[in-house]
Chains A and B, each alone.
Chain A
Amino acid sequence: MSTAQAEGARRAPLGWVARRRGAAARKVAVFILVLGALWGLWELARALGEASGLRLGAFEVNDRTMPHVHDMLRQFVQPSRRNGPLLIAVLLQAAAFTAKEAVVGFLIGATVGFVIGVLLSNFRLLERGLLPYIVASQTVPILAIAPMVVVWMGAGLFSVAVIAAYLTFFPVAINTLRGLRSADPRAHELMASYAADRWRVLWKLEIPASLPYLFTALRIAAPASVVGAIIGELPSSIQGGLAGAILNFNQYYVSNPPALWATNIVAALLGMAFFGAVVLLERLVVHRAPEHVA
């Protein structure tokens, strides 16, 4: 007993919380440092470009092509139009609107992808027959699919969500298929020794074993669903979301370049928030050896 405990104490999660807190602080520090470095690089490139008068084809460094970062940020607290609300308020509202579509699309896509993965993994014939078409579906540009979805389903939250789901389901289906087959052959023998039926093997072994693979796919799929939602808003002529804001500020780009950049920043932040939400969920759900949790 004493040897067993000494043996275990070495690996027991002692001081885990403290170490975890230190790691979190380090992560925040690195994030801020990289952000500052990127900001510095942008401004450095600007300064060098302006000083040298460098031209690359049509590209020339000036306030139109490369607005100052502080101008983009200042734009957030300027009115979006004469006597209108602040830009930040307009963009946050648009982001919330698009986020709703993206969430629904993500959920539809993740569910459909997971179900397809489970079906393909259980029926080899289905895998052979269907997988080529599933792969082919991703070679059709989403810009070509989106108008058709709107024609079929009418413009609205649901059609946009379906377009977002079209981008989401594919990585989830492929990784689920792979993850379900990732279990150790010995673990399958173990289940056989318990006379486990197909359903039990799926539920107690294959699905838990697939979770790290599934979450890798969800990390890819979550920001993709934001992109899908923005693209989906275009053919539906939906004005309230980020696509509307992008089109609008693109139109007035010449008079106010930082507004479009500010919009892009908000779209990127929304994608990152989706990614972060998946990472958080993964922390709660997946208990794997540290080397498994990429």
Chain B
Amino acid sequence: MSTRTTSLATAVSLRGVTKRFAVRGGPALTALASVDLDVYPGEFVSLIGPSGCGKSTLLRIIGDLVPPTEGEVTVNGKPAHQARLDRDYGVVFQDPVLYDWRTVARNIALPLEMMGWDRERRARRVREMLELVELRGFEHHYPWQLSGGMQQRVSIARALSFSPALLLMDEPFGALDEMTRERLNMELLRIWERSGNTVIFVTHSIPEAVFLSTRVVVMSARPGRIAGIVEVDLPQPRTAETRVQPRFFELVTEVRRRLRAGGAGAAAEEGPSEQDLLVAGEGQAP
């Protein structure tokens, strides 16, 4: 049923992770307050919450792309920093962030080039990846010749190309239309089942979180913290049928209830957004 293993080793372990941003001319803003979370190998964990709850920041802290102000982050049993240096994870952003000057094939090969793979091995892996995301025949296209959904598939192929055990996804389908999103949800699940990756997936869509995940971590805003965790006991593999099962709706309702209990309804909309803070991010609070 669930692919969650009972192994004691965690894929990701967070202990007391706190993040404060310096705000010009004001008190520091606490984006995350003392977050504890364990993610086990093979899990598909979604982080959901209102904007400003720090879910993107949390994902970046796990990836060692921004440092936590306090707390400990362990990825594959080592500090997050070491895990980044060991290239233990692949990352997919909301925008595909493809390099305009590289063809689809060369975009997918980018991490492989960084890791010193030789040309032949790269070409072989790129072919496999194109197959995986169903983009054969597009290897010589440039990103701007593809639709948004296809670009995001290239981005996923790039993240998976070097077979990282952990996949960090920051609202990867947030900018896509509903139909493309549902199709890519299915594709992502198929890839996840086949590869056995651990996935941490940031989203603000409740049905998407429930449909994809083995566990949904519900976060509340200002300061961001975990308001509750919903175990998703829907049978695997998930299909189009999954979305119409009564249990699916129960779980969606449960997540919604927890979001509301966490104060999502009164989500603080004033103040700078999380994205603004990350981009401005140089001024770290002490």
Contact = CB atoms under 8 A, between A and B. Distances in A.
Contacts of A290: 144
B147 A8 contact: yes
B97 A7 contact: no
B149 A7 contact: yes
A193 B84 contact: yes
Given A189-B60, A211-B101, A288-B100, A4 B91 contact: no
Interface string A1-43: 1011101101111000000000000000000000000000000
Contacts of B138: 4, 8
A187 B99 contact: yes
A186 B90 CA distance: 13
B146 A8 contact: yes
Q: Is the interface of A mostly helix, strand, loop or mixed?
A: helix
A8 B142 CA distance: 11
Nearest to B144: A289
B216 to A, nearest CB: 25
Given A8-B150, A204-B110, A289-B142, A194 B87 contact: yes
B279 A194 contact: no
Contact of B100 (A193, A195, A196, A292): A292
Contacts of B97: 184, 186-187, 190
A57 B60 CA distance: 71
B1 interface: no
Interface residues of B, number: 39
Interface in A238-294: 286-290, 292
B132 to A, nearest CB: 12
A205 interface: yes
Contacts of B231: none
Interface string B75-94: 00000000011110111010
Contact of A8 (B101, B115, B141): B141
B2 interface: no
Given A185-B279, A189-B91, A192-B65, A4 B84 contact: no
Nearest to A196: B114
Interface in A154-192: 184-187, 189-190, 192
Given A11-B145, A288-B101, A1 B114 contact: no
Interface in B79-126: 84-87, 89-91, 93, 95, 97, 99-102, 110-111, 113-115
B114 A204 contact: yes
Nearest to A11: B145
Interface in B49-69: 60, 63-65
B134 interface: yes
Given A192-B84, A195-B87, A208 B134 contact: no
Given A8-B147, A193-B84, A195-B84, A186 B93 contact: yes
A7 B211 CA distance: 26
Nearest to A289: B144
B137 interface: yes
Contact of B142 (A187, A208, A287): A287
A167 B212 CA distance: 59
Contacts of A205: 99
A175 B141 CA distance: 28
Contacts of B141: 8, 11-12
A172 B134 CA distance: 42
B144 to A, nearest CB: 4
A192 B138 CA distance: 27
Interface in A198-222: 200, 204-205, 208-209, 211
B86 to A, nearest CB: 8
Contacts of A211: 101
B227 interface: no
B134 A194 contact: no
Contact of B147 (A7, A13, A185, A204): A7
Contacts of A196: 114
Interface centre among B84, B111, B114 (most CB of A within 10 A): B114
Nearest to A191: B114
Nearest to B133: A4
Nearest to A3: B183
B229 interface: no
A99 B85 CA distance: 51
Contacts of B111: 194
27 contacts: A4-B135, A4-B138, A7-B147, A8-B146, A8-B150, A11-B141, A184-B97, A186-B97, A189-B91, A190-B91, A190-B97, A192-B84, A193-B63, A193-B65, A193-B90, A195-B84, A195-B87, A204-B113, A205-B99, A208-B101, A208-B102, A211-B101, A286-B101, A287-B100, A289-B144, A290-B144, A292-B100
Interface of B: 60, 63-65, 84-87, 89-91, 93, 95, 97, 99-102, 110-111, 113-115, 134-138, 141-147, 149-150, 183, 279
Given A189-B65, A208-B101, 13 more contacts: A7-B147, A7-B150, A8-B146, A184-B95, A189-B91, A190-B93, A192-B65, A193-B65, A193-B91, A195-B86, A204-B114, A286-B101, A289-B100
